[in-house]
Amino acid sequence: MNFNFTEEQEMIRQAARDYAERELIKDVLERDEKAEYPTQHIKNLSELGFLGMLVDPKYDGGGMDTVSYVLAMEEICKIDSSVGVIISVNNSLVCYGIENYGTEEQKEKYLKPLARGEKIGAFLLSEPEAGSDATHQRTTAEDKGDHYLLNGTKNWITNANSGSIYIVVAQTHPEKKHKGINVFIVEKDSPGISLGQHEDKMGMRSSDTHSVMFTDVKVPKENRIGEDGFGFKFAMKTLEGGRIGIASQALGIASGAFERSVNYAKERKAFGTELANHQAIAFKISDMAVKIEAARNFCLKAAWLKDQGKPFGVASAMAKQYAADIAMEVTTDAVQIHGGYGYVKEYHVERLMREAKLTQIYEGTSEIQKIVISRSILKG
């Protein structure tokens, strides 16, 4: 057992923190207000290597471990979860999926520019009528010999507009149910793809979310990932890793709200003394700290298991469910500690509370995580 971080892990945490505190903080409120995509930040963070930090250097990635990734995500999301989710989808869904299950040609052609951050990836699984229940894919991929023909609609797609490389899940053999599902790498500028309106979201407003429509989109056969019928397994495996990203995002949201609350409680006075001297507030601070510490340990444990090559699916589901749920609780308390000031935008905590809510919904709702966890316990 060893709880020390390596010099390198500390350095990555510090680099992420420096970027967030120096740069992201400057326009995070404005981008939230205007729902504006962080184009320049994503370019800068690509140059620093964050967009492909988990990818093997052989494919132009940063070659960092998942523990470093948790540390970086926490620091970035303390300030700006929209930037966090863009990094998370690119790293832990799109790059991870291609690196682990793609062919050499696919890695050469798609993984490299994604790892360099020159191109951004999106992961298209959810549909208007298939969210939690991803087995009921209505999007079809008809086998036409040398290519597949895609038709259907995907919903809630992060990076749909900013991204240019899509990982698309679709049904090829409906009679085989989820075993007939395939997954493809699709270039966004292929004919037949159109985007819906930018979703007007409650939080993480600076990330772009759209629905995506496919009408007779031709996808070359060599763009299928894995064997025929591998798509559902691919999606589940990839989401296992993705959850570590979202869990760390929730952790960052909680710890960002916590840091602000501690500072505020030490400064703001009521009834002749600092808020921190009222036990009701001090105990809230204590409860928040305990929850955050537990969530951090969950995230790091899941990351460590993944880095050791051990099974991490249940650990990442636990990390995601717990971190997301406490992020909601901690940010709600943070607003409470700030009183009226907490309810206005300038103090950031209301935004963090809006952001926290999403972590309980995407990449598997908290309820779905409980299904994953309880099944793993009860199945044997």
Ligand X SMILES: Cc1cc2nc3c(=O)[nH]c(=O)nc-3n(C[C@H](O)[C@H](O)[C@H](O)COP(=O)(O)OP(=O)(O)OC[C@H]3O[C@@H](n4cnc5c(N)ncnc54)[C@H](O)[C@@H]3O)c2cc1C
**Between the CA atoms of 127, 131, 135 and 138, what dihedral angle is there, to the nearest 10 degrees?**
-20
In whole angstroms, the minimum distance from the beta carbon of 47 to another protein comes to 7
Give yes or no for residue 84 binding another protein (CB under 8 A): no
Residue corresponding to tokens 């772009």: 208
Nearest to 4 by CA among 224, 300, 354: 300
Give yes or no for residue 157 binding ligand X (CB under 6 A): yes
**CB distance 138 to 171 below 8 Å:** yes
Give yes or no for residue 270 binding another protein (CB under 8 A): no
Of 25 and 48, which CB lies nearer to another protein in the complex structure? 48
Q: Give the CB-nearest residue to ligand X.
A: 131
- Using a 10 angstrom Cβ sphere, with 0-12 exposed, 13-18 middle and 19 or more buried, the burial of residue 277 is middle
To which H or E segment does residue 149 belong?
Answer: strand 147-158
Q: Which of 24, 28, 53, 285 binds another protein (CB under 8 A)?
A: 53
Out of 75, 127, 350, 363, the active site residue is 363
Give yes or no for residue 49 binding another protein (CB under 8 A): yes
Nearest to 53 by CA among 244, 257, 293: 244
Give yes or no for residue 10 binding another protein (CB under 8 A): yes
* Pairing mode, strands 165-171 and 121-124: parallel
Give yes or no for residue 367 binding ligand X (CB under 6 A): yes
Q: Which of 19, 37, 50, 156 binds ligand X (CB under 6 A)?
A: 156
Give yes or no for residue 47 binding another protein (CB under 8 A): yes
- Binding mask 183-212 vs ligand X (x if CB under 6 A, - otherwise)? ------------------x-------x---
Which tokens sit at 77? 């999301």
Around 293, how many Cα atoms within 13 Å sit in the side-chain half-sphere? Answer: 7
Total residues interacting with ligand X, rule: CB under 6 A:
19
Q: Which of 1, 3, 4, 7 binds another protein (CB under 8 A)?
A: 7
Question: What angle do the packed helices 81-88 and 231-267 form, to 10 degrees?
Answer: 160
Annotated catalytic, 363? Answer: yes
Site for ligand X in 212-241 (CB under 6 A): none
SS3 assignment, position 112:
helix
Contact stretch for ligand X (CB under 6 A) within 65-73, 265-273, 317-325, 362-370: 362-370
Of 74 and 127, which CB lies nearer to another protein in the complex structure? 74
Q: Which of 358, 359, 369, 372 binds ligand X (CB under 6 A)?
A: 358
Give yes or no for residue 96 binding ligand X (CB under 6 A): no
Rounded Cα distance, 86 and 46, in Å: 11
Rounded Cα distance, 137 and 132, in Å: 11
Of 164 and 336, which CB lies nearer to ligand X in the complex structure? 164
Question: What angle do the packed helices 66-79 and 7-19 form, to 10 degrees?
Answer: 20
- Binding mask 112-141 vs ligand X (x if CB under 6 A, - otherwise)? -----------xxxx----xx---------
Which tokens sit at 247? 């869990």
Site for another protein in 297-356 (CB under 8 A): none
Listed in sequence order, the residues at least 6 apart from 317 whose beta carbon sits closer than 8 Å to its beta carbon are 240, 243, 364, 369, 372, 373
Site for ligand X in 303-322 (CB under 6 A): none
- Using a 10 angstrom Cβ sphere, with 0-12 exposed, 13-18 middle and 19 or more buried, the burial of residue 268 is middle
Of 12 and 120, which CB lies nearer to another protein in the complex structure? 12
Residues catalogued as catalytic? 363
Query: Which stretches of the chain bind ligand X, using CB under 6 A?
Result: 89, 123-126, 131-132, 156-158, 201, 209, 358, 361-363, 365, 367-368
